[in-house]
Amino acid sequence: MKKKITVPEIMATKQNGRKITLITCYDYTTAKLVNESNIEMILVGDSLGMTMLGYEGTVGVTVDDIIHHGKAVKRGAPQTFIIGDMPFGSYNVSVEQGVISANRMFTEIGCDAIKLEGGKRSAAVIKGIVEAGIPVCGHIGLTPQTTSMMGGFKVQGKSMEAVEALLEDALAIEAAGAFMVMVEGVPTAVTRYLRERIHIPIIGIGAGVDCEAQALVLQDMLGMTEWVPKFAKKFADLRPQILDAFNTYQKEVTEGTFPTPEYSYNAKVEGLE
């Protein structure tokens, strides 16, 4: 049976060259499948706003939403390291608010760590949550909760000034006590520059090859959606298969070829002959 990876083992990837994986997950059935696989980590991401709830972005997702989905994931994936994603508005008021939100997610989901967005601006909250005893993963680069400030979902770190700001963010996250930092949507050379200058592992999503860990959104990597970002390799192409199954089911019912006796309870009922 799979053994759950630990925070020290995740941190050790910085030295030992082991590459690890994370996938987003939001429900029990899929969590069971991830748990059976060799994928080490699950993120109950605020991307559930888009993938599960049909929102345009991640803003609007609540701590209650993450807890609701996180509890189901935890029941399905007890041997997988689960990270709960702190939604927008759950940690941007004060350190105290961040610790209260993180405590709720950590205790009610029973997750192993939490993730939150922002570098220097979130350093005090990260420190507070770590001091409260909860492992924290930072998140910099393209941060979906603040895309309106960035002018959309745009690749970050495209000037030396921006790269230096990213490095300051990564160092602030490290100094605040985070065990890992997610870097999203930056050129490969930028990730390499950061990686050489920090001491905690980088988990990349659209951040190139030079990361200790990689993350992907489940619906992207299974090919369930019409559009996927450039960095999201489709390891399966389920959308056409699912559509085909739906349409074949509908066709067979309308044509009368499903259900057959094979898919029916055929027990004799006395008096009903």
Tell me the DSSP string of the chain. -PPPP-HHHHHHHHHH---EEEEE--SHHHHHHHHHSS--EEEE-TTHHHHTT--SSSBTB-HHHHHHHHHHHHHH-TTSEEEEEPPTTSSSS-HHHHHHHHHHHHHHH--SEEE---SGGGHHHHHHHHHTT--EEEEEES-GGGHHHHTSS-----SHHHHHHHHHHHHHHHHTT-SEEEEES--HHHHHHHHTT-SS-EEEESS-S--SEEEE-HHHHTT-SS---TT---S--HHHHHHHHHHHHHHHHHHT-SS-GGGS-----TT--
Binding residue (CB under 6 A) for ligand KIV from 10, 45, 105, 119: 45
**How far is residue 108's CA from residue 117's CA, in Å, rounded to a whole number?**
21
Report if residue 47 touches ligand KIV, rule: CB under 6 A. yes
Report if residue 202 touches ligand KIV, rule: CB under 6 A. no
Report if residue 85 touches ligand KIV, rule: CB under 6 A. yes
Number of residues that bind ligand KIV (CB under 6 A): 10
Q: Which stretch binds ligand KIV (CB under 6 A): 39-47, 119-127, 158-166, 237-245?
A: 39-47
Report if residue 205 touches ligand KIV, rule: CB under 6 A. yes
Report if residue 181 touches ligand KIV, rule: CB under 6 A. no
Binding residue (CB under 6 A) for ligand KIV from 10, 20, 34, 43: 43
Closest residue to ligand KIV, Cβ-based? 45
Q: Are 90 and 97 in contact (CB under 8 A)?
A: yes
Residue 117 catalytic?
no
Q: Write down the catalytic residue from 40, 117, 174, 184.
A: 184
8: tokens are 């020290």
Report if residue 87 touches ligand KIV, rule: CB under 6 A. no
Of 92, 154, 102, 164, nearest to 123 (Cα)? 92
If the CB atoms of residues 43 and 167 are measured against ligand KIV, the closer one turns out to be 43
Report if residue 184 touches ligand KIV, rule: CB under 6 A. yes
How far apart are CB 85 and ligand KIV at their closest, in Å? 5
Phi/psi of residue 220, nearest 5 degrees: -70, -50
What string marks each residue from 148 to 177 as x (binds ligand KIV by CB under 6 A) or -?
Answer: ------------------------------
Report if residue 215 touches ligand KIV, rule: CB under 6 A. yes
Q: Which stretch binds ligand KIV (CB under 6 A): 29-37, 41-49, 149-157, 242-250?
A: 41-49
If the CB atoms of residues 160 and 234 are measured against ligand KIV, the closer one turns out to be 234
Report if residue 24 touches ligand KIV, rule: CB under 6 A. yes
Give the interface with ligand KIV as residue ranges (CB under 6 A): 24, 43, 45-47, 85, 184, 205, 215, 217
Q: Which residues are catalytic?
A: 184
